[in-house]
Amino acid sequence: MIDIQSQKDHRKINIQKVGVKGIKYPIIVLDKEAGTQPVNASINMYVNLPHSFKGTHMSRFIEVLNEFRGEINIRTFHTILEKVREKLHAESAHMEIEFPYFIEKTAPVSGAKSLMEYRCLFSGCNAESQKDFLVGIVVPVTTVCPCSKEISSMGAHNQRSFVTVKVRFRRFFWLEDLIRLVETSASGEVYSLLKRVDEKYVTEHGYENPMFVEDVVRNVAERLNGNTNLTWYSVEAENFESIHNHNAYAYVEKE
Amino acid sequence: MIDIQSQKDHRKINIQKVGVKGIKYPIIVLDKEAGTQPVNASINMYVNLPHSFKGTHMSRFIEVLNEFRGEINIRTFHTILEKVREKLHAESAHMEIEFPYFIEKTAPVSGAKSLMEYRCLFSGCNAESQKDFLVGIVVPVTTVCPCSKEISSMGAHNQRSFVTVKVRFRRFFWLEDLIRLVETSASGEVYSLLKRVDEKYVTEHGYENPMFVEDVVRNVAERLNGNTNLTWYSVEAENFESIHNHNAYAYVEKE
Amino acid sequence: MIDIQSQKDHRKINIQKVGVKGIKYPIIVLDKEAGTQPVNASINMYVNLPHSFKGTHMSRFIEVLNEFRGEINIRTFHTILEKVREKLHAESAHMEIEFPYFIEKTAPVSGAKSLMEYRCLFSGCNAESQKDFLVGIVVPVTTVCPCSKEISSMGAHNQRSFVTVKVRFRRFFWLEDLIRLVETSASGEVYSLLKRVDEKYVTEHGYENPMFVEDVVRNVAERLNGNTNLTWYSVEAENFESIHNHNAYAYVEKE
Amino acid sequence: MIDIQSQKDHRKINIQKVGVKGIKYPIIVLDKEAGTQPVNASINMYVNLPHSFKGTHMSRFIEVLNEFRGEINIRTFHTILEKVREKLHAESAHMEIEFPYFIEKTAPVSGAKSLMEYRCLFSGCNAESQKDFLVGIVVPVTTVCPCSKEISSMGAHNQRSFVTVKVRFRRFFWLEDLIRLVETSASGEVYSLLKRVDEKYVTEHGYENPMFVEDVVRNVAERLNGNTNLTWYSVEAENFESIHNHNAYAYVEKE
């Protein structure tokens, strides 16, 4: 059977990335408490394609995923990419893995336990001369507006805010630790289960710690600056403003 | 050229709805202030298909839309559906039109003007024995939690909330009037542009008018009960809770 | 601490549904091959609220979920709803659970194995006088256009199509069996991993079995009509047309 | 009234971007045929914030938008950003504007006319020392698989594909021209309205012009290389594969 993909191409155009996008796949990630956690991921995989080849062999990406089934995580990321490079005869390989991750939280006063979902990302590339790996998390928090609090005789507008942090790092770290750092850098934390005593606490605690999106990204950045394991970071905060139908947003990355 | 769609089908299964979904189309809707407003809609159109026919003629839906280009609105809705029935030899026809609609709002103290977007829906069907038409709106508002306010020594959690109202009615009405009714039934209104004096006002006003999702749907329902032009309604409110990562929700419809 | 939710309400408006929406939760569903399968679900839970009460107690929904952690599936669905009714002193309770579900498929010629994702839904309500439970699946398939094939001297347009089936039933059944029924009712099946011999097979097989969306819903409906375990069904097919930027759609439900 | 945002900040962290996201706004863009076209846009606006200031003044972004209402387009983009810089006392300003754009297309044989929607993007920044402006388009096309055609005795799998092109350029150009270039670089074009004679044509034309995603991005890149008005481009193609539940993807940018 003829191999169309391996035919010569004459347009002299190198393709930086070619591959498969939106593969839904169950993976097992490392969990600080439980050892492992099964999650439903969405995966993109690419390689480069030199100008002289007509096409890549898309099915091989899936074959590599299947080889690593049950072992796709932060520790095996580059091993998978090396396998992709080998199997597709490519100089560089890229992968992005997005997944939800659950952590049990304890309500601040009642001690009631519940599960919170965080969106996570592994993204990286692997080439002879260059390796890159980035971990991302999206953490929901509460922000209370300092301006609204200051100018109003009572109350202050507040809202759910999403803080996205991406980091490059030297040694393995736990997602849980980065998530905790973010959760404790905003006006307040978000929970799945709060009893009335907890609701009183989070309301008062938030009101006493008003923060703009600017404050949140700076608080997180300041603490990340103190972490010698990190070689790079970016921090975004996006407020689903309770008084507007658009969002407030701030972005800072390590300079 | 053979007409496959018109061939006989022997499976004896009537199809309730067959047609086209997700047609993007610019339409011009009626605007209380400006006369008309051009908007970018997404349209679904269906007919029934009796069991003896193999298929419908999908291109005719688009032809009907093109005939009414520039005249697709609340007043022509049933005329369009009748044309669809005629052109597709169908007993019943259905259409759903979703679009954003913009209204200029005035900030409560400064008087600063800005545009707010509301999501709207026209949905209906047309058959010999039955005509139905429903108008829907989605209105962003602010809700301040009565429980949080009551139990806390200061502050109260609050958030953006979306109120969805659908109505069946006797005589033409303006979207603007239904939207105003909803905006004035929550803890506070949402604006695109607020100066500091306005932010003080909306913060204090919201704090003085705490409401659960239950309160919002009841406030809207109570006022719709008093409107003799309406033959049916449903009201939903969904809070993007500032202290949780899930939403609070309430639904009521005319009994 | 005062219980605002339990206060009297005087607006005389019963609320049909009030509760929590979009709770992300890891659940373990029943798997025909493996016994169980851990998946990441999104859950909505509601109760009715009689007109005399101001509000419901939202945190109790989460408490019930936590009680059933690890045991939320098709068999325990009504037990959970009964617990919700009891704990929230409600007459009726509703729940919707959406989740991805993975099944290993075998390529038709090479026998290569890979995982396919299907979107699933459990939805139901529970009241003294009425119990309802509905299972839904979304199955990706291929459709080849019979008209395009017939009128063209070569080729035929084809596309990914999503078939959504919802059923009410008497006795437990496996999701796998309903999914297989749908996969074998279209022009062809969709796979994650196909080698070249498989791609030849699915191309030729699809070309030999052209179907409109109308054909797909009728094929599925005809086979569901023959299943005495089902008391009701609906079938939708939506083609992501390769020659249009909108979709073709058909819907049929048991008459 | 105290101006919290103007207070000193002591964390010594410059913020690269702070502003408003997801503002829905009706704008009027330039249309090659009709002169202008009213569309519903979604807009993000940011400025930098030096480390010594606590916060930015979010309402001023909306005020600038209001000043330019009816005149927000490719020609005024940098003027708007300069106004933002001035009004917010910022060194750099950024804006992203996404909108749908409609062009009337003519079916290839019948000459039937219909409207097609394309997603467009204006994105740029403005600082003393640096100005950037990028225009993007997303164009739906058809791709027919060359491998499937070659190895199969009849038929070939094909699907809707989205081609995203972003360009930096020297002189004004029409969106219409860039869109046409893309539409004529794939296996076939996508239309809203095709009569049977057209469907025969597009089926046969597509079958005679099979292309991988790799071919599509190379065809577009080759033609963009020949356009001296462009200083940079990127081209992506994403196939909604009819035989898989994931997508095939290729990306190339000017080297």
pLDDT tens-digit readout, B47-98: 999 999 999 999 999 999 999 998 999 999 999 999 999 999 999 999 999 9
Nearest to C175 by CA among C84, C92, C100: C100
- Helix%, strand%, coil% for chain C, nearest 5: 25, 45, 30
Q: Compute φ and ψ for A48, nearest 5 degrees.
A: -80, 160
C-beta atoms of C242 and D246 within 8 A: no
Nearest to A130 by CA among A92, A167, A77: A92
C-beta atoms of D56 and A11 within 8 A: no
C-beta atoms of C17 and B250 within 8 A: yes
Taking contacts as CB-CB distances below 8 angstroms, the residues of chain C near A195 are: 59
Distance CA C22, CA A190 (A): 14
What is the model's pLDDT at position A255? 84
B198: helix, strand or coil: helix
Using CB atoms, which residue from B194, B242, B245 is nearest to A158?
B242
Q: Compute φ and ψ for C144, nearest 5 degrees.
A: -110, 130
C-alpha separations of B84 from B21, B76, C184, D192 in Å: 15, 12, 33, 17
Using CB atoms, which residue from B20, B218, B249 is nearest to C247?
B20
Q: Per the structure block, which two tokens stand in for B234?
A: 């449903």
Distance between start and end Cα atoms, chain D = 54
What is the model's pLDDT at position C103? 98
% of chain C at pLDDT higher than 90: 98
Q: Per the structure block, which two tokens stand in for D185?
A: 């670089």
Taking contacts as CB-CB distances below 8 angstroms, the residues of chain B near D200 are: 1
Query: What is the average per-residue pLDDT within C245-251?
Result: 97
Interface mutation vs chain B, best among D1, D27, D40, most B CBs within 10 Å:
D40
Q: pLDDT category, A1, cuts 50, 70, 90?
A: confident
Q: DSSP assignment of A103-161, as one string?
A: EEEE-TTT--EEEEEEEEEEEEEEETTEEEEEEEEEEEEEEE-HHHHHHSSS---EEEE
% of chain C at pLDDT higher than 70: 100
Q: Which residues contact A31 (CB under 8 A, 6 or more apart)?
A: A37
Distance CA C194, CA A60 (A): 10
Interface mutation vs chain A, best among C20, C21, C29, C59, most A CBs within 10 Å:
C59
C-beta atoms of A26 and C59 within 8 A: no
Q: Are D196 and B1 contacting, i.e. CB atoms less than 8 angstroms apart?
A: yes
Nearest to C47 by CA among C82, C86, C87, C18: C18
The half-sphere exposure of D202 on its side-chain side, counting CA atoms within 13 A, is: 35
Interface mutation vs chain B, best among D6, D21, D24, D199, most B CBs within 10 Å:
D24
Give residue-wise pLDDT tens across range A85-141: 999 999 999 999 999 999 999 999 999 999 999 999 999 999 999 999 999 999 999
Minimal C-alpha gap between A143 and chain B (Å): 8
How many residues make up chain B in this entry?
Answer: 255
Q: Per the structure block, which two tokens stand in for A214?
A: 């600017």
% of chain A at pLDDT higher than 70: 100
Using CB atoms, which residue from B199, B243, B244 is nearest to A243?
B199
- C227 burial (CB, 10 Å; 0-12 / 13-18 / 19+) is middle
Distance CA D250, CA D255 (A): 15
What is the model's pLDDT at position D116? 97
> Which residues in chain D come in under a pLDDT of 50?
none
Distance CA B241, CA A161 (A): 10
Provide the number of CB pairs (under 8 Å) joining chain A to chain B: 135
Q: CA D32, D33, D34 angle in degrees (round to 5)?
A: 105
Report strand pairing: C230-239 vs C158-169: antiparallel
Distance CA C6, CA B150 (A): 13
Q: Give chain D's radius of gyration (CA, Å).
A: 22
What is the model's pLDDT at position B255? 84
What is the model's pLDDT at position C1? 82
Taking contacts as CB-CB distances below 8 angstroms, the residues of chain C near D105 are: none
Distance CA D195, CA B156 (A): 60
Does C255 score more than 90 pLDDT? no
Minimal C-alpha gap between B158 and chain A (Å): 6
Minimal C-alpha gap between C140 and chain D (Å): 7
Minimal C-alpha gap between A244 and chain B (Å): 5
Q: Which residues contact D244 (CB under 8 A, 6 or more apart)?
A: C160, C190, C191, C192, C194
C-beta atoms of C195 and A40 within 8 A: no
C-beta atoms of C243 and D147 within 8 A: no
Using CB atoms, which residue from C69, C115, C194 is nearest to A59?
C194
C-beta atoms of B54 and C24 within 8 A: no
Distance CA B90, CA D118 (A): 32
Q: pLDDT category, A34, cuts 50, 70, 90?
A: very high
Q: CA D22, D27, D28 angle in degrees (round to 5)?
A: 155
C-beta atoms of C196 and D242 within 8 A: no
Minimal C-alpha gap between C117 and chain D (Å): 8
- C172 burial (CB, 10 Å; 0-12 / 13-18 / 19+) is exposed
Taking contacts as CB-CB distances below 8 angstroms, the residues of chain C near D117 are: 245
Q: CA B162, B164, B168 angle in degrees (round to 5)?
A: 165
Provide the number of CB pairs (under 8 Å) joining chain B to chain D: 70
Interface mutation vs chain A, best among D44, D58, D255, most A CBs within 10 Å:
D58
Taking contacts as CB-CB distances below 8 angstroms, the residues of chain D near A14 are: 252, 255
Minimal C-alpha gap between A60 and chain B (Å): 34
- Stretch (H or E) spanning D232: strand D230-239
Residue appearing with tokens 């710690």: A209
Q: Which residues contact B208 (CB under 8 A, 6 or more apart)?
A: none
- B176 burial (CB, 10 Å; 0-12 / 13-18 / 19+) is middle
What is the average pLDDT score of chain B? Answer: 97
Residue appearing with tokens 């393709």: A15
Interface mutation vs chain A, best among B242, B244, B246, most A CBs within 10 Å:
B242
Q: pTM for the complete prediction?
A: 0.97
Using CB atoms, which residue from A204, A242, A245 is nearest to B192?
A245
What is the model's pLDDT at position C206? 98
Distance CA D5, CA D7 (A): 6
Does A84 score more than 90 pLDDT? yes
Q: Compute φ and ψ for D214, nearest 5 degrees.
A: -60, -40
What is the model's pLDDT at position B1? 82
Does C171 score more than 90 pLDDT? yes
- B67 burial (CB, 10 Å; 0-12 / 13-18 / 19+) is exposed
Q: Per the structure block, which two tokens stand in for B176?
A: 């603007």
What is the model's pLDDT at position C172? 95
Taking contacts as CB-CB distances below 8 angstroms, the residues of chain D near C241 are: 160
Helices and strands in chain D: count of H runs, count of E runs? 6, 9
**Subunits adjacent to chain B (3 or more Cβ pairs under 8 Å):** A, C, D
Distance CA D244, CA C159 (A): 10
Nearest to A62 by CA among D161, D246, D146: D246
Taking CA atoms, what residue in B is nearest to D115? B25
Taking contacts as CB-CB distances below 8 angstroms, the residues of chain C near B163 are: none
Using CB atoms, which residue from C1, C63, C117 is nearest to A24?
C117
Distance CA A177, CA A115 (A): 16
Interface mutation vs chain B, best among D61, D63, D115, D160, most B CBs within 10 Å:
D115
Taking CA atoms, what residue in C is nearest to A24? C117
Using CB atoms, which residue from D40, D59, D196 is nearest to B193?
D59
C-beta atoms of A155 and B158 within 8 A: yes
- C84 burial (CB, 10 Å; 0-12 / 13-18 / 19+) is buried
CA A149 to mean position of chain CA atoms: 32
Using CB atoms, which residue from B156, B207, B243 is nearest to A191?
B243
Taking CA atoms, what residue in A is nearest to B162? A245
C-beta atoms of C192 and D245 within 8 A: yes
Distance CA A235, CA A250 (A): 8
Q: Which residues contact B139 (CB under 8 A, 6 or more apart)?
A: B118, B162, B163, B164, B165, B179, B182, B183
C-beta atoms of D22 and A56 within 8 A: no
What is the model's pLDDT at position D1? 82
CA dihedral D86, A163, A242, B102 (to 10 degrees): 60
Taking CA atoms, what residue in A is nearest to B159? A242
Minimal C-alpha gap between A62 and chain C (Å): 6
Nearest to A249 by CA among A224, A204, A213, A223: A213
C-alpha separations of D147 from A176, B81, D249 in Å: 46, 44, 16
Using CB atoms, which residue from C17, C214, C249 is nearest to B251?
C17
Taking contacts as CB-CB distances below 8 angstroms, the residues of chain B near D102 are: 24, 26, 40
Is the Cα torsion angle B247, B251, C1, C2 positive or negative in sign? positive
Q: What single DSSP character describes residue A4?
A: G
